[in-house]
Chains A and B, each alone.
Chain A
Amino acid sequence: MIRLEPRAAPSRLMIVLSPILALAVTVAVAGILFASLGKDPARGLSVFLLEPLRGVRALSELGLKATPLVLCSLGLALCYRSNVWNIGAEGQFLLGAVGGGGLAMWVTMHRVAVSGWGFFPFVIVAGALAGAAWAAAVALLKDRFHANEILVSLMLVYVANLLLAWLMFGPWKDPKGWNFPQTVSFAPETTIPRVFRGMRLHWGFAVALLAAVFMWTFLFRTFKGLQLQVGGPAPAAARYAGFSARGALWTTLLASGGLSGVAGAFEAVGPMGQLTPHVSTGYGFTAIIVAFVGRLNPIGCVLASVLLSMFLLGGELAQSRVGMPAALTGVFQGVLLLSMLAFDALVNNRLRLGGGLVRSRARDPGRRARGGEEIVRDGHLAATASRQGPRT
C-alpha cells in the first residue's frame, strides 16, 4: 500500500516541483477536455500555451494582463504570509479603478492641463489610497470587533461591484454616451505612457516589477518583514517576541489594498481609457491563485502572473479561434490550484510503499525513550523539529 510518511525536512525540490507538476496535470486535463469536446487537443493547447508567446504584440498583451496580477498577488502573498486572509483584492482593485479613473475623469471634465508622465504618479497615489481605504475597512472591523476578515473582505467585493455599477449607471455616466453605463473617454494626456509605440503595454508593468523587487527585499531582507511573517506560522512565538499582531494586520491589509488599488487604477487609466462596470475580469480572484502558485514569494508571483495571464489570453483566443467558451480559463485555474495543493502534500511527506519507517520506529522502545515519539508521531512537528537542528 502506498502511504505518506513525514519527511525530516520540507523538500526544497518539491517546493519548486509542485507547481510544475500541477501545471502538467492542468495541461493533461485540458487535453482530455478538448478531446472529449471534439476539438483537436494539440490545437487547443497551442492556443493556451504557445500563441500568447508568439510575436511582440502577443507579449505586450501578456505583460498587460500580468501587470494587475503581479500587483494584486504581491499584496495577497504578504497577507497570507502573516496569516491575514484577505480574499477581497477584487473589491480593492475596483475601488482603485474608481479612484484612478475618477481622477482622470475629473481632469478630463475640467480640462486640466496634464502631461502623461506628470499625471502618472497621481494615478498611482489615487489608486493606492482608494484601494487601501477599502482594505482599511476590513482591518478596522477585524481589529476593533474581531470580525472575520475572510468574510468581510469578500462581502466588500460585492459592495464594491455594486458601488461601481451605481456610479456607471448614475452620477458618472457619460451624458453623451447613448445611455451606456460608462464614463466619458479620458483625455489622451491622462493615459499611462506606453512602453512601445502602437502597443498597449504601459509603464505600469515596470512599476509592478519594481514592486515585486521591493516586496522581496522587504520580506526576506528586513527585520520588519520577518516580524510580519513570524505571526503566520507561529503566532505564539510572535507574541512572545513582542511582534504586534495588530501592526501586522494593518500593515498587510493596507499594503495589499494599496497594491490592488494601483492595479485597478492602471487598468482604468491604461488600456481602458474610461471606466465601465467591467473594468476587472476577475483579476483580484485570479491573483489569489497566482499568489499560491507563486508560493507566496514575490519572484514566484511574477512568474505565476505570466503563467496565469497566458491562461487568460488563451481563454480569449480559445473563444475566437477554437470556438470554446472563455470560461475554460476558470476551469484550468481551479484545476491548477487544486492539483498544486495535492502535490504540496509531498513537500512535507514522502511516498512509501508498504509498512514504512514510522511503524518500525514506534516499536523501538529506545527511540521512544529518547523523545523520538513526538517526532515520528506528527509530520508537522517532525518538520519543525528538524529545521532547528539535526534529528536524533
Chain B
Amino acid sequence: MNELALLVAATLAAGTPLALAALGLLVNERVGVINLGAEGLMLISAVTGFAVAVHTRSPWLAFAAGAASAALVAVAFGWLVIWLNANQYATGLAVSLFGGGFSAFVGVGYVGRRLGIELNYAVPGLGRIPFLGAALFREHPVVYLAVALCIFLSWFFWRTRTGLVLRAIGESPDAAHALGYRVRRARLAAVVAGGALCGVAGTVLSVAYTPLWVEGMVAGRGWIALALTVFATWRPGRVLLGAYLFGGVTMLQLTLQAQGVHLPAEFMSMLPYLATVLVLVLISRNPAWIRLNMPSSLGKPFFPTQ
C-alpha cells in the first residue's frame, strides 16, 4: 500500500513537467501557432533555472529566471513566425537546435553541481492522511500549480470572452482580423505565455525533479509534450491526464524492474518514446477526429489585410 502511494507520488512528479509544457503548447496551438522549439525552450530554461538556483539558492528566483529565459526566446520565435511569416516548422526546429547548443554551452560549468534545495513539503494536515497524504500531498508546489493551471485554462478558453476570441483566432485568423481583433498581437502574447510555461517545465526538471544539470537532460520531453497536445485533442483536462499517463509510463520501468522483470535497461528506457508513437498512432487513426478538434489555422501563416 505504501509502495503504491509512492508510485502515485512519483507519477505525479514525473508527469508535472510534461503537463506544464504541454499546457504551454496548447496555449500556442489554440491560437494557431505550432512551436516545435519546445525542447529547446525547456533546455534553455533548465540550465538558466539551475544556474540561478545554484547562485541565489532560491528556487522561486530560479523558476522566474527559467520562465523569463524561455519567454525571451519565444519572443524571437514569435517575431519570426508571426511578423516575418517564417515557416513555423523550420523555425521551431531551429529553436530546438539552438536551445540544445546554447544550453550545453552555458551549462558546461554546472555539470555535476548539486543544489541541496528541498522543494517537496508535506501540506499541513493533508500530508498526514494515511495513504492519500503520501500519494498526493507531499510534492513540490509546482505539481499543484500544474493542476490549478489546467483548471484555469479550461475556464479561460471556454468560459471567458478573451478565451473565445483567442480560439476564434486559432480557427480563423482572417475572420477575427475582419472583426477588428489584433491577430498578430494576440498570437505573440500566446506564444510568449506558452514559452514561459515551457520554461517553468524545464526549470522543474533541473531544479525540482532531477535536480541537477546534465547536457540534453530534457531527453525529448518537449517533443512528447507536443504529442500530448494532439493526444489531448487540444483540451487542457485531457492534457493533464495524458501527462500523468506518461509519467506513469516513466515510472513503469522502475516498477517492472522491482517486479523482477528482466528486460535490459535500454528497452525499459524506450518505453516513453514507444508509448508516444503508440499514442499518436491510436489517436490519429481517424483523421476526421483530428481535423474536427485541431485549430484550423494551426501552422499556417497569416497575412493581415491592409
Residues of A near any B CB (own CB < 8 A): 4, 85, 87, 141, 145-148, 150-152, 154-156, 158-159, 162-163, 165-166, 169-170, 285, 288-289, 292, 325, 327-335, 337-338, 341-342, 344-345, 358-359, 362, 376-380
Does B256 lie at the interface of the complex (its beta carbon under 8 Å from any beta carbon of A)? Answer: no
Does B108 lie at the interface of the complex (its beta carbon under 8 Å from any beta carbon of A)? Answer: yes
CB distance from B231 to the nearest CB of A (A): 10
CB distance from A382 to the nearest CB of B (A): 10
- B288-306 CB contact bits vs A (8 Å, 1 = yes)? 0010000000000101011
Q: Are B301 and A338 in contact (CB under 8 A)?
A: no
Does B154 lie at the interface of the complex (its beta carbon under 8 Å from any beta carbon of A)? Answer: no
Q: How far is the CA of A170 from the CA of B262 in the complex (A)?
A: 14
Does B119 lie at the interface of the complex (its beta carbon under 8 Å from any beta carbon of A)? Answer: no
Besides the contacts A330-B97, A334-B100, A337-B97, what 20 more A-B pairs have beta carbons closer than 8 Å? A141-B280, A145-B280, A147-B281, A155-B274, A158-B219, A159-B273, A159-B274, A162-B273, A166-B266, A288-B97, A327-B215, A328-B105, A330-B105, A332-B101, A334-B98, A334-B99, A337-B94, A338-B91, A345-B85, A362-B306
Q: Are A341 and B94 in contact (CB under 8 A)?
A: yes
Q: Are B223 and A330 in contact (CB under 8 A)?
A: no
Q: Taking A288-B93, A334-B97 as contacts, is the C-beta distance between A154 and B105 under 8 angstroms?
A: no
* Residues in A whose Cβ lies below 8 Å from that of B220: 154-155, 158
* Residues in B whose Cβ lies below 8 Å from that of A358: 306
* Residues in B whose Cβ lies below 8 Å from that of A328: 101, 105
Does B123 lie at the interface of the complex (its beta carbon under 8 Å from any beta carbon of A)? Answer: no
Q: Are B76 and A338 in contact (CB under 8 A)?
A: yes
* Residues in B whose Cβ lies below 8 Å from that of A362: 306
Does B276 lie at the interface of the complex (its beta carbon under 8 Å from any beta carbon of A)? Answer: yes
Q: Are B97 and A333 in contact (CB under 8 A)?
A: yes
* Residues in B whose Cβ lies below 8 Å from that of A4: 83-84
* Residues in A whose Cβ lies below 8 Å from that of B102: 330-331, 334
Q: Are B303 and A146 in contact (CB under 8 A)?
A: no
A142 — nearest CB in chain B belongs to which residue?
B284
The B contact surface, by secondary structure, is: helix
B73 — nearest CB in chain A belongs to which residue?
A338
Q: How far is the CA of A147 from the CA of B301 in the complex (A)?
A: 23
B279 — nearest CB in chain A belongs to which residue?
A147
* Residues in B whose Cβ lies below 8 Å from that of A337: 90, 93-94, 97-98
What are 21 pairs between A and B in contact, CB < 8 Å?
Answer: A85-B89, A141-B280, A141-B281, A145-B284, A146-B287, A148-B230, A154-B223, A155-B220, A169-B266, A288-B93, A327-B107, A327-B215, A334-B101, A337-B90, A337-B94, A338-B95, A338-B98, A341-B86, A342-B80, A342-B86, A379-B303
CB distance from B222 to the nearest CB of A (A): 10
* Residues in A whose Cβ lies below 8 Å from that of B80: 338, 341-342
- B205-228 CB contact bits vs A (8 Å, 1 = yes)? 000000000010001100110110
- B102-120 CB contact bits vs A (8 Å, 1 = yes)? 1011011000000000000
